[in-house]
Amino acid sequence: MKKILITAVLLTCFLGFSQQKSIDQKVNALLKQMTLEEKIGQLNQYTGDNQATGPITINPNKEAEIKAGLIGSMLNVLGTKYTRQYQELAMQSRLKIPLLFGQDVIHGYKTTFPLPLAEAASWDLEAMELSARIAATEASASGIHWTFAPMVDISRDPRWGRVMEGAGEDTYLGSKIAYARVKGFQGNHLGDINSVMACVKHFAAYGAAVGGRDYNSVDMSDRMLWETYLPPFKSALDAGAATFMNSFNDLNGIPATGNKYLQRDILKGKWNFQGFVVSDWGSIGEMINHGYAKDGKEAALSAITAGSDMDMESNAYRNNLAQLVKEKKVSMALIDDAVKRILRKKFELGLFDDPYKYCNPEREQAALNNPEHRKAARDIAAKSIVLLKNDKGVLPLSKETKTIAFIGPLVKEHKQNMGFWSVELPEVNYDKEIVSQWEGLQNKVENSTKLLYAKGCEIEGDNKDGFAEAIAVANQADVVILSIGERRDMSGEAKSRSSLRLPGVQEDLIKAIQATGKPIVVLINAGRPLIFNWTADNVPAIVYTWWLGTEAGNAIADVLFGDYNPSGKLPMSFPREEGQIPVYYNHFITGRPAPNETATNYVSAYTDLKNSPKFPFGYGLSYTTFTYSDLKLSKNKIKSNETIEVSVTITNSGKVAGEEVVQLYLRDKVGSVVRPIIELKDFQKIKLNAGEAKTIKFSINKEKLSFYNAALEWVAEPGDFDLMIGSSSSDIRLKTAFELEN
């Protein structure tokens, strides 16, 4: 059997090599036939007209340029009808090179899944891969070849609106999620009919924008870059990511779009990335605004030299590359390398064999109306919900509760549940497509239960005229559910906020309802961590629902009534005040640590605020309880070529079945550079029935003990390590130590 498996692996490798060799031969043959203008055309991407966003460049000659082979890719073209129309134009070109169609399929296509940050809260890698798999199935059936996802930027600043698009603050968790999402989008094989190319973004360090302000500068050490911000990109590359997108920010004074160190030295050099790099929207031209290039010609020179292969919407390549080649400022070898990378992907997708491969209307309708997709969306949405507080067991609610008051500006909303960066198809009625929270509650309770509603207030503004009705409704109920939060477009690109408080008078509404003395459950809908200190301190039950997508109402009802026991854990720390930001769990201890978190005797702390977040990384409650015991190590000392096996027993000590995310943290106690106070190095999500116990195992090897030293060498230094197992970064249940010997 072993020989058979080895033979199969070798055969697969040989076939893969042969196929790639064949594709390379086809690419080289085609390249020899192309004029310089046609080559540059492959590096040029335009937006379509049927769902255009952003600062669009108006081009009345778009169709003529496609026929002339001067456009290689388009974005924002939705549906087989339109992708086929544009592809038919491309087939009128001299060489009949097919177009690539890209789209921001960030968290679903027709079926909208939870925001990526919300999905990260599930800590369920299989669920996240499935979410991306379904999104790819629907998008590819609609003529899309390529999604501009996943975003793998590490972010420690919730003021930055794009935190909703990523996996949060932790490098290890973010790397695991990046791998899962790429696998989900691309499936078993690039070119399969239900696969789309992933585009890993934004390369690199965009999540560390100064002040949490979108498009802003980033300034950090190389060691911070390599240790914290680059690993998720490398993980996505290891998963086989077809493309990368560079970022809007400058990094240490050099715009990422024109950054040779990032794109040529690291990505295409050290990491040997064979796919292609696309600019972010207009980012080549924006190097003029940065003050890095004096005009479009200089910007094009900088970008192509640095390794940016495709120009999204700036026209810098289209207008300037030919002249730069004639002036011998750009070599033909640079142009050819970029064109080869793009053509190779078109061949891998099978577009030269069948340009209309992804343009089948029947398959489109079947994929967009698959009921299994909604079932998965409901399950993943429930897994993404985080129970922040549940004093006195207010939750779960009984389905036989006589009267429930459902109050707040988001109770009956439909499209709000989609969140930001969702695809809006013109033919879809989202008021019918999306399950509102009100409808979810109606679907769940018994016919004998009376549901009362009051809006109470708007999301923004200072009008309290609706408070009286809301209070009157609350007084009639046995329990009150309040649904409050952001609008869906308050988190996302260009949605940086200096204040993270609940908008408008929503917290005043909570205070007014709390004063009735009724049991209260607050649902917080948002795309980022918010600050709601009064609510956190005074309301008995708080559920963080993020934005959950198509099945939001049903998933929320599943959790409220205990049909799904919440298992989500926070992928980002929630600050107490904006003045704490950035606040993250894996910080350095400093030379003057604050033992009591407050400044008393010249220690690293605030005089008016605790250092700790309001809710820490990895935190989330359940309707049951879990007991940790019997932490054992296979050995207490290891050499660098050895592994420690870790075992721990988890017992469901409560009365209902539930899932627990068991988190393993390490601390390198002494290093040649200072090390974080605690670092996530592994986790497992397990499900246990009431009273059930399970022993789970982890492995600790040299890789998990390594870090970048001052010389940017990846090393594991001999010394003592603390090993911690817990339910969150601040809820460590068991602790031990071991030594890495010299």
Catalytic residues: 280
Residue corresponding to tokens 């000392």 = 637
What torsion do the CA atoms of 525, 528, 531, 533 make, to the nearest 10 degrees? 60
Q: How far apart are CA 535 and CA 294, in angstroms?
A: 51
One-letter amino acid for residue 161 of the chain: G
Find out whether 519 and 550 touch, Cβ atoms under 8 Å.
no
Q: Which helix (H) or strand (E) holds 468?
A: helix 467-475
One-letter amino acid for residue 157 of the chain: D
Strands 479-485 and 450-454: unpaired
One-letter amino acid for residue 250 of the chain: D
3-state DSSP assignment of residue 661: strand
Find out whether 160 and 220 touch, Cβ atoms under 8 Å.
no
Q: How far apart are CA 21 and CA 677, in angstroms?
A: 49
- Concatenate the DSSP letters of all residues of 527-589 into one string: SS--B-HHHHHH-SEEEE-----TTHHHHHHHHHTTSS------SSPBPSSGGG-S--SS-B-
- Concatenate the DSSP letters of all residues of 551-566 into one string: THHHHHHHHHTTSS--
Q: How far apart are CA 360 and CA 364, in angstroms?
A: 6
Strands 146-147 and 100-103: parallel
Q: Which helix (H) or strand (E) holds 250?
A: strand 250-251
Q: How big is the chain by its Cα radius of gyration, in Å?
A: 27
Residue of 593, 623, 177 lying closest to 397 (CA atoms): 623
Q: How far apart are CA 179 and CA 152, in angstroms?
A: 10
Find out whether 547 and 526 touch, Cβ atoms under 8 Å.
yes
Angle between helices 296-306 and 316-326 (to 10 degrees): 80
End-to-end CA distance of the chain: 40
Q: How far apart are CA 620 and CA 543, in angstroms?
A: 10
Find out whether 116 and 162 touch, Cβ atoms under 8 Å.
no
222: how many CB neighbours lie within 10 A of its CB? 13
Angle between helices 2-33 and 332-348 (to 10 degrees): 130
Establish how many alpha carbons lie within 13 A of residue 369's alpha carbon, considering only the half-sphere containing its beta carbon: 8
How many residues are listed for the chain in this entry?
742
